[in-house]
Chains A and B, each alone.
Chain A
Amino acid sequence: MRGSWLRGLGAVALAGWMVLPFLPLALWSVAQGWRFPDLLPQAWSVKAWTFVLSPGAGVLESFGLTLFIAASTTALAALVGVPAGRALGLYRFRGKGLVTLLILLPVVLPGLAVVFGLHGILLRLGLAGTVGGVILAHLIPVLPYMTLVMAAVFARFDPGIELQARSLGATPWQCFRFVTLPVILPGLLTGALFAFLVSWSQYLLTLAIGGGRVQTLPLVLFSFVSSGRNDVAGAIALLYILPGALVLLIVSRGVTGRSPALAQGLRP
């Protein structure tokens, strides 16, 4: 009796902890003037949403750009992270510890320390201020996640099934398409979700490398926050948390067992 009561309280506290921070955002986005010490806005308005969703404001455009950058970064990270994770997870080789350290390094080093040197390099390559340059920069924090998730996946992968597939008549491509890919897919999806979210939430790297010319959603959001447009900022912030909320939904489905594949991919 007492236990279930405590558990209920715990659930409410947890839900409150997750949801409450968003409440002011939601209120701000539909408020017309909301001053201390009022508990609720004095007047309501959909002005902020109309502005944010209008084509001329550039917010939707920025949403699309952020989506494009995050998706491209994820795809590139998979292209590099799958073979790298395979090497780390499956094979023993000289210098493996050093390679692992180098891959982990971007997670350990503060981005601020790296970003200006990186800017110089990309400037020389003519990539500073371009979407391509921003994607390259995003790969730095994203790749470690992708690689380490894939290394964990391949550590449990029996490469014998690939040999078996080849011997049963599969071409190298068929072997990847019908054997390797389906087996690593749950882990690959997990890695891709991490990669996407890490890229999606980049502020510093985008600002420094994009030089203000690549306006992703966090940059737009920050400019409205700093200019005191709390209503518009609230609306953009809600848009901004959309992918994260979706991911949480998918992962929680996995954890509850309706999508065991994903839960399996998340297992260490």
Chain B
Amino acid sequence: MTRLTLQGLRKSYVAAGHAAVRGLDLAVESGRLTALLGPSGCGKTTTMKLIAGLLAPDSGDILLDGRSIRALPPERRGVVMVFQNALLFPHLTVAENVGFGLKMRGLPPREIAARVEPLLTRVRLDGLGARNPAQLSGGQQQRAALARALVLQPAVLLLDEPLSSLDPSLRDEMRQLILSLQRETGITTLVVTHDQAEAVALADRIALMLAGQLAQEGTPEDIYRRPATLAVARFFGAENFVPGIARSGRFHCDLGELVLPAGLAEGPQTLTIRPEGIRLFVPPGADTAGGTNIRKARVAGVTFLGSQTRVTLGLGGITLQALTAPDAAAALQPGAEIDIALPPGALWLLPSE
């Protein structure tokens, strides 16, 4: 059980001429599975390599349980990184690959075998230990790479995009395996991903990284319901933004005066409305009793998405995206005028940029 702390971590690449990581502060709680989430090129993988010791930071520090590991070479950090592509050693068998780190520590072959065998079984590669890596499928290679890291019982495990090289059908299986192995071992784990759905499904906590800095850290629900900035909200797929001014529990904007949930800051801000929170009253003319912030809207488009239907609404000059159950949307025709409610619980205020 180890707590990982990053303090003001900074790294720039001379060749690229810009900073990849620009003053990153992050605390990864002991025994937790934290997702380091962010768009491509935001410095996630660089951060991983800095923690693993494969790159040296320009400034800042990396602490394990309060002790700096910045000066230690990668092999003495107790941190193991698993790369996006499995990177199995082509000249070794699967079992030799998994036992590689133990061999480097100088363990006798018998003991290595005794530790490798059960782990191969655990990642469902039993009987494949004598194969060459090239004879494994992509999913099997990824599982071997995971076993190769876990056999070392590292203080901190770093997984770089562990699912992105897999077929969608294999991702769920691999996600379950990572989750259950992390629960069993309790190893402090940091998973890099660019996919917010993946981060939400995997992690106890999400650290959202934008442009080389920590944008927000919290539980997946925290970040989804209460994004800290417009950029965070946009990254999590928010589309409905309305500028205005919050004053004594009301938001004054082009939609008129809206009732806000309690406890929000006052002043000029941007309102965001979660699309699945918007209530549609169908068929047109249905009773709107019990709704708050009722408005008239014109249906501009209806898109069937499977489990949900996207309804594009026009309210004067403002367009809102709503997500609703397909059954409810079935009766809607583009051009129809309906009543909608914007419940205070679906509203959130962001500082304007």
Cβ-based interface call for A169 (8 A): yes
- From the candidates A160, A163, A178, name the one contacting B104 in the complex (CB within 8 A): A178
A169/B54 in contact, CB under 8 A? no
A164/B87 in contact, CB under 8 A? yes
Q: How large is the interface on B (under 10, 10 to 19, 20 to 34, 35 or more residues)?
A: 20 to 34
Cα A62 to Cα B213 with chains together (Å): 69
Q: A166 contacts which chain B residues (CB < 8 A)?
A: 53-54, 73-75
Classify the interface of chain B: helix, strand, loop or mixed.
mixed
Closest to A163 in B: B54
Cα A179 to Cα B103 with chains together (Å): 12
Q: A182 contacts which chain B residues (CB < 8 A)?
A: 91
Cα A158 to Cα B85 with chains together (Å): 11
Cβ-based interface call for B241 (8 A): no
Closest to A158 in B: B87
B90/A165 in contact, CB under 8 A? no
Chain-A contact segment, one of B76-84, B215-223, B291-299: B76-84
Cα A171 to Cα B73 with chains together (Å): 8
Q: A169 contacts which chain B residues (CB < 8 A)?
A: 75, 80, 101, 104-105, 152
Q: B90 contacts which chain A residues (CB < 8 A)?
A: 161, 183
A170/B54 in contact, CB under 8 A? no
Closest to B91 in A: A182
Cβ-based interface call for A98 (8 A): no
B101/A168 in contact, CB under 8 A? yes
- If the complex has contacts A161-B89, A165-B89, are A170 and B83 also in contact, measured as CB distance less than 8 A? no
Cα A143 to Cα B149 with chains together (Å): 40
- If the complex has contacts A163-B54, A166-B54, are A171 and B75 also in contact, measured as CB distance less than 8 A? yes
Q: B100 contacts which chain A residues (CB < 8 A)?
A: 165, 168, 170, 178
Q: A227 contacts which chain B residues (CB < 8 A)?
A: none
Q: Mark B106-149, 1 if CB is under 8 A from A, else 0.
A: 00000000000000000000000000000000000000000011
Q: How far is the CB of A158 from chain B (nearest CB, A)?
A: 7
A183/B91 in contact, CB under 8 A? yes
Q: How far is the CB of A260 from chain B (nearest CB, A)?
A: 12
B85/A160 in contact, CB under 8 A? yes
Q: A171 contacts which chain B residues (CB < 8 A)?
A: 73, 75, 104
B83/A163 in contact, CB under 8 A? yes
Cβ-based interface call for A174 (8 A): yes
Cβ-based interface call for A226 (8 A): no
Q: Mark A135-163, 1 if CB is under 8 A from B, else 0.
A: 00000000000000000000000101101
Cβ-based interface call for A167 (8 A): yes
Q: B329 contacts which chain A residues (CB < 8 A)?
A: none
A-B contact list, 10 entries, CB within 8 Å: A160-B85, A161-B87, A161-B90, A163-B83, A167-B52, A168-B104, A168-B148, A170-B101, A171-B104, A183-B89
Q: Which residues of A approach B to under 8 Å, CB–CB?
A: 158, 160-161, 163-171, 174, 178-179, 182-183
